[in-house]
Structure 1
Amino acid sequence: MRLPEHDSTDSLSASPDSAATLGPAGVSNGAGPSNGLKKGLATNGATALAGNGAAVAKRGKLVARVDLQGKPLYSGSYVDREEYIRLVVQSLRDAGYEESATTLESESGYAMETPDVSDFRQFVMEGSWTKAESVLTRLVGSGDEAGLWDARFLICQQKYLELLEAKKVSAALNVLRNEIRPMGLEPERLHLLSSYLMCEHPDDLRERAQWDGTLGTSRQRLLAEIHRFVPSSLMIPPQRIVSLLEQSRSWQQSRCLYHNSPAYSLGYSLYTDHQCDKDAFPSVNTLKLQAHSDEVWGVAWSHDGRYLASASKDQTAIIWMIGPQSDPNLRDVRPHHILRDHPFPVSCIAWSLDDSVLLTGSEAQIRLWNTRTGLCIRLLEEHSETVTSLEWLPDGSGFVSGGLDRQIIRWDAAGGKIDSWDEAAVRVTDLAVTPDCRRLVVVGLIGVPPLEPSRDGRTVSGSGGGNMTLEDLVDQHKMIVYDLITQEEEMTLSLEGDLSSVKISSDCQFALINHAPNEIHLYDLISGRLTRKFTGQQQGHHIIRSCFGGVDGNFVVSGSEDGKVYLWHRDTGALLEVLPGHGPGSVNAVAWNPTRERMFASCSDDCMVYVWEPPPPPRIEELSQEDVKGKGKTRQLWEGDGVASSSRIH
């Protein structure tokens, strides 16, 4: 909006002879005579206007009004000049440059906001509610009755709460009866407001109303709420330029396939478009952990990112200590504990929230291990068939287990059984709890136990005898979403193909499911729809567990039956990397380090656990079975041709 023009008799003026020449930006190149000010007009920094092109005295300098032609900011630009200038004025004021903002208003002729808006802000911030309501009608406009009603209610509610906080109960009751009640609120809402009268202490009021009080940010929040009902051309949303920059940053991140840096890292610059360096992406195996004697089926990082647990067919689980990343050449990497005593292969593992306990699943048994001592704390034998999944609750209160026996059991942190679901509709192959601790997502198959694949891989045998083909199991696989508290099914999807794993995104919205053959699916848990497919890896008959990766979970990582690791961009589905390195057999599981955004681990049928980091690392460290027995540690130099030479440290 333009500032009002003044008549020549009322404006501040300077002699044309003394006015300085204006540069391209319309800024005066010199100072005019101080006696050009009319008597009685202040010179404290508020700029008076002298009409188009006239110079105005401001702190002893001349500020001239610039009238540039055309609405666009530049030739061929879509940016409106007035909108841009008003946002710059707002941004200058937000940053504390009040005089510069006032000068820009004077020079451009565009005011950031009308006097009504300025008055309204002031009235709200000082609690002058009657004055604020009188201005509100002019801001919202009579044509928006619903918006005006909502804005008035917000003001009345703020006034009511402030009176209660000040223990002016009679005045608050008067507002409730004479101002709020006639507005025709729903009875439940009116009853809730009335209940605040019973609060004996202001702290009780603030807690019950979820309101931070007069001295808090409640009035600023009130202004932000009322912004919704006032045209943005009149009342510019707060910190609008910052919001636009944030949107630009988010868009650039979404276009950056290898984006993997913290949202507010110092690496962001307004001078250039954001682009993450591909060389900073984890694509080289920097650690080869070799201590298992058989296939490795699972890996899981501790929450502090310092330890890596691996589960193997060799009936052991190993807790590896992965030293700091500061100096890879000297990084201390060794088995911290080897957890034996499993009578069967270890199929699944899970860390407690504080990393003090590691769960292991071995056939129908669950063991709790003290990660500091390496001793077994407790043995649980409630399942009757193989335990396929163990998941700690995000609040640390306990964990959930699922198995092929259709049982889903909830345990406390010490391993005490809390309850179990009624027999699940599927033989559970994996489960996951959403980070908000509200839902449990289960994947599995509807088969008559026990189901075992025949040698030719084409048929499965059931306990009733006879064979059925894999095609007979079409639509026999399901994803089920339960309410974690009530145990009721919220959503059930029948899916074709084997479902071997499920992971939940950090925002609780998406479920990542390994789906044989040869696909990974991303499902929206809100709409229940398939969002995206990730293809390229091979999965036919083996259980492969994928995961989200990166700072914002914007990568999808999976192993494959061809012995490689595959990485995709989550939002586009673009295949970013195919990483070789493992030996023959399947890469069975991957896990991204929760504290080191450029590190993840994989495990394979080749008995190895690999740790992947950005290239080029100066060395690879490898631990062998021999080292586990106490003979020392092997460090390997990384050669350019891939040949390693080792030196033994005793």
Structure 2
Amino acid sequence: MRVDEDSEQVFSNGHPASSNGSTPRKPLHSSLNGHVNGSSPSYTNGTSKKLAPGRSATYRGHNREEVVRILIQGLLDMGYSDAANVLSSESGYELESPSVAAFRSAILEGVWSEAEAILLGSRQDDRASSLPEDDQYGEGLVLAEDADRGQMLFLIRQQKFLELLDRRDLGMALMVLRQELTPLEHDIHQLHALSTLLMCPPEDLRDKAHWSGTVEESRKMLLQDLSRSIAPSVMIRDHRLAELFDHIKQSQINQCLYHNTAEPPSLYSDHICDRDDFPSRTFLQLEDHTGEVWHVQFSHDGSKLATASQDQTVNIYETETFKRLHTLTHHSAEVTYVSWSPDDTKIVTCSQDCKARVYDVETGRLEVTLEHQSVDQNYGITAAAWTPDSQGFVTASHDRNSQLCYWNLRSPKREKPEHVWPRGFRVQDVAITEDGNWLVALDPQNIIRVFHMHSYREEPPIKVTGKMTSITLSRDGSTVLVNLAIGEVHMIDLVTRDTIRKFRGQKQGEFVIRSCFGGAAENFVVSGSEDGLIYVWHKENESLIEKLSGHGRGQSGKECVTTVDWNPRNARMFASGGDDRKVRIWTNLQPPVEEGLPGFRTNLKQFFIREESARISALRSTL
């Protein structure tokens, strides 16, 4: 089991009773994780060195020993143990020396005293008889640069303590804590977290630990942690061959500017995607709004699109033919934002009239109207974000007195907020991670605020240099896109709080401009701009790959693309909205041609709206 140092949570494992915290030692053997090692006359704490006669020490410029050992590990990973043994025997190289194999076995079998002895290099009589005399372990395992042997020892003893605690051997666990862990003086805060577990009732221990695995799985995790500190020449990281293949594929994806498929590249040949497959053409133009379009958002299943406008309405379309399903007209001021519930059955709309409204998507019926208890009615609701259960959401406002409100639709008083965060700041945009744990709020005062959704506690904020206008979370919730008024889009890691990418080129400074991740595997970053263009960057290498002519001039005289969103289920479709009151649908398809030309009827039948109530015009490619 394992302790999370930040949350003081423990991952515990059950284990059969044994004396002094260690599993009874089994006879040492050369098998490890299904890996069988051959023998060789000499060892260097990790590999044998017996180069076959007539063979170069390199293979096409690569170290032959490294290649062979990785191949042996890969064969064993795939279950070809006989082939691995033949390769080891023929090449003269083995995967790991007996001392490293013994360390692996000691960790996986819970023989903690032996694991410590091998780590530290102290010889034990019962172990010495099992290892060749020339196996070089006298100095202990060879560690990676900057590795801390004391930290490794702490992790081993922590595992021992936690396993004792899990099987309720409290006396022995206390002895390990006092006599083995405390003298290391390694991490006082961690020791305190461990000591508090002694008082945890057995029925609550695993719930508190959020543990649902086995002791074997926990020991494998420990071994992975320890292996990161051992020199790779001594102990190859698990699944290294597969890891290298992943690197090769990711490198090909990074070099392919238009990679837009969830299918990984083949190892057989170099990979490149055709630019013509990228959704760079305006296929349809929706013209139902009479005011600027401020927000567009696809449903999670990609089957519908919602658009919000300055004209106080929201339109909902289905995305097969883009027939308009509903026009929502209850707001008395501009609609600033729309947000789909995770199950796509409801939609919440936000308006400058200080109200948020929840609608049933199937019927278009208004279910509930919610109002911030605002002191100044000039401050509207700027954004909303749903919780994973589709029964709650958070609304944001510029009003410092009620800038964040959490609403629960299950509550008998659902018109009243379940929780209102302490006043004192404004919120321009808001998002909730897919797991429902974190609320991310954009404070216009150059701060990204992060709150724990269950405790409502605020975490240390992320400070940004520049005025921000919008945020968008990645699917996994690990990163956030932020549009800055200086004309840049930054991608920030929510764990490290670092800016890891900067996308430049788009124009911004006066209006709220939104961006989004795009593509089958979120390989792209797309943003609107105040110059009427849509900017598309390759996410990994930050290259600007497209500048698409987006929207014309609005009533203000500006050519402003305010909002973009990518269809989550159709990698070759995204939507944009602008001050020209239009919504464009971008695909990789050629737009319909004039009536009477070949292909018109096919395109019309498949993509055009037949109802007269929905006014749609088709545009040719802008490229």
TM interval, shorter chain, is 0.7 to 0.9
- Deviation at 1:339? 0.8
2:354 pairs with 1:378: no
Counterparts in 2 of 1:345-384, with a 5 A limit? 345-364=334-353, 365-382=355-372, 383=374, 384=377
The 3 A distance-change label for structure 1 pair 256 and 424 is farther
Q: 1:298 aligns with which of 284, 295, 298?
A: 295
2:347 pairs with 1:387: no
The amino acid of 2:92's aligned partner reads G
2:72 pairs with 1:72: no
Q: 1:399 aligns with which of 394, 398, 401?
A: 394
Counterparts in 2 of 1:188-337, with a 5 A limit? 189-198=190-199, 201=202, 204-209=204-209, 215-262=215-262, 265=263, 267-323=264-320, 332-337=321-326
2:518 pairs with 1:549: yes
- Asked if the contact 1:591–1:602 (Cα under 8 Å) also holds between the matched residues in 2, the reply is yes
- Deviation at 1:308? 0.8
The 3 A distance-change label for structure 1 pair 366 and 210 is closer
244-253 or 124-133: which moved more? Answer: 124-133
- Asked if the contact 2:488–2:502 (Cα under 8 Å) also holds between the matched residues in 1, the reply is no
The DSSP-based 3-state class of the residue aligned with 1:105 is helix
The 3 A distance-change label for structure 1 pair 116 and 336 is same
The DSSP-based 3-state class of the residue aligned with 2:223 is helix
The DSSP-based 3-state class of the residue aligned with 1:589 is strand
1:479: which partner in 2?
446
- Asked if the contact 1:299–1:308 (Cα under 8 Å) also holds between the matched residues in 2, the reply is yes
Identity %: 34
The 3 A distance-change label for structure 1 pair 291 and 46 is closer
The 3 A distance-change label for structure 1 pair 491 and 242 is closer
- Deviation at 1:240? 1.4
The DSSP-based 3-state class of the residue aligned with 1:333 is coil
Per-residue CA deviations over 1:298-355 (Å, capped at 9, x if unaligned) read 21112222211111233321111223xxxxxxxx432222112333332322223333
2:3: which partner in 1?
none
Query: Given the two structures, how large is their TM-score scaled by the length of structure 2?
Result: 0.73
C-alpha distance in 2, partners of 1:127/1:524? 37
2:585 pairs with 1:611: yes
The DSSP-based 3-state class of the residue aligned with 2:106 is helix
C-alpha distance in 1, partners of 2:366/2:258? 41
The amino acid of 1:248's aligned partner reads I
C-alpha distance in 2, partners of 1:373/1:567? 36
2:110 pairs with 1:109: no
2:139: which partner in 1?
141
The 3 A distance-change label for structure 1 pair 594 and 195 is same
Q: 1:595 aligns with which of 569, 572, 593?
A: 569
The DSSP-based 3-state class of the residue aligned with 2:378 is coil
2:547: which partner in 1?
578
The 3 A distance-change label for structure 1 pair 163 and 559 is closer
1:154: which partner in 2?
155
Counterparts in 2 of 1:512-591, with a 5 A limit? 512-515=482-485, 520=489, 531-535=501-505, 537-539=506-508, 541-580=510-549, 582-585=551-554, 586-591=560-565
- Deviation at 1:601? 0.9
The DSSP-based 3-state class of the residue aligned with 1:410 is strand
2:490 pairs with 1:490: no
79-88 or 273-282: which moved more? Answer: 273-282
- Asked if the contact 1:165–1:213 (Cα under 8 Å) also holds between the matched residues in 2, the reply is no
415-424 or 293-302: which moved more? Answer: 415-424
The 3 A distance-change label for structure 1 pair 540 and 175 is closer
Of structures 1 and 2, the one with the larger relative CO (CA 8 A, separation 6+) is 2
C-alpha distance in 1, partners of 2:473/2:364? 29
The 3 A distance-change label for structure 1 pair 564 and 47 is closer
The 3 A distance-change label for structure 1 pair 420 and 191 is closer
- Asked if the contact 1:503–1:513 (Cα under 8 Å) also holds between the matched residues in 2, the reply is no
The DSSP-based 3-state class of the residue aligned with 1:495 is coil
The amino acid of 2:527's aligned partner reads S
- Asked if the contact 2:344–2:361 (Cα under 8 Å) also holds between the matched residues in 1, the reply is yes
- Asked if the contact 1:256–1:274 (Cα under 8 Å) also holds between the matched residues in 2, the reply is yes
C-alpha distance in 1, partners of 2:461/2:38? 63
- Deviation at 1:533? 4.2
2:23: which partner in 1?
none
The amino acid of 2:101's aligned partner reads S
The 3 A distance-change label for structure 1 pair 403 and 149 is closer
89-98 or 554-563: which moved more? Answer: 554-563
The amino acid of 1:490's aligned partner reads P
Per-residue CA deviations over 1:367-409 (Å, capped at 9, x if unaligned) read 2222222122223343411425212145453212213778513
How many residue pairs match? The answer is: 527
C-alpha distance in 2, partners of 1:161/1:489? 30
C-alpha distance in 2, partners of 1:212/1:521? 37
Q: 2:608 aligns with which of 607, 622, 632?
A: 622
- Deviation at 1:217? 0.8
The amino acid of 1:349's aligned partner reads V
- Asked if the contact 1:393–1:437 (Cα under 8 Å) also holds between the matched residues in 2, the reply is no
Q: 1:412 aligns with which of 386, 403, 407?
A: 407
Structure whose CA Rg is larger: 1
2:462 pairs with 1:440: no
Per-residue CA deviations over 1:150-189 (Å, capped at 9, x if unaligned) read 3333333333444444555555555455544544465654
2:20: which partner in 1?
none
Counterparts in 2 of 1:16-165, with a 5 A limit? 66-74=52-60, 77=61, 79-138=62-121, 139=137, 141-142=139-140, 147-165=148-166
C-alpha distance in 1, partners of 2:501/2:153? 42
The amino acid of 2:218's aligned partner reads S
The amino acid of 1:400's aligned partner reads T
- Deviation at 1:99? 1.5
- Asked if the contact 1:443–1:500 (Cα under 8 Å) also holds between the matched residues in 2, the reply is no
- Deviation at 1:98? 1.3
1:469: which partner in 2?
none
124-133 or 313-322: which moved more? Answer: 124-133
Question: How much is the aligned-residue C-alpha RMSD, in angstroms?
Answer: 3.9
- Deviation at 1:231? 2.6
Structure 1 unaligned segments of length 5 or more: list them: 1-44, 52-63, 324-331, 445-477, 643-650
- Asked if the contact 1:514–1:545 (Cα under 8 Å) also holds between the matched residues in 2, the reply is no
Q: 1:340 aligns with which of 303, 307, 329?
A: 329
- Asked if the contact 2:407–2:419 (Cα under 8 Å) also holds between the matched residues in 1, the reply is no
Per-residue CA deviations over 1:227-263 (Å, capped at 9, x if unaligned) read 134332222221111222222222332222222322x
C-alpha distance in 2, partners of 1:438/1:571? 25
- Deviation at 1:557? 1.8
- Asked if the contact 1:303–1:594 (Cα under 8 Å) also holds between the matched residues in 2, the reply is yes
Per-residue CA deviations over 1:544-599 (Å, capped at 9, x if unaligned) read 32322224433222334554433222344432223336554433321112233322
- Asked if the contact 1:559–1:565 (Cα under 8 Å) also holds between the matched residues in 2, the reply is yes
C-alpha distance in 1, partners of 2:422/2:117? 61
- Asked if the contact 1:286–1:619 (Cα under 8 Å) also holds between the matched residues in 2, the reply is no
2:124: which partner in 1?
none
Structure 2 unaligned segments of length 5 or more: list them: 1-35, 43-49, 122-136, 410-414, 555-559, 592-601
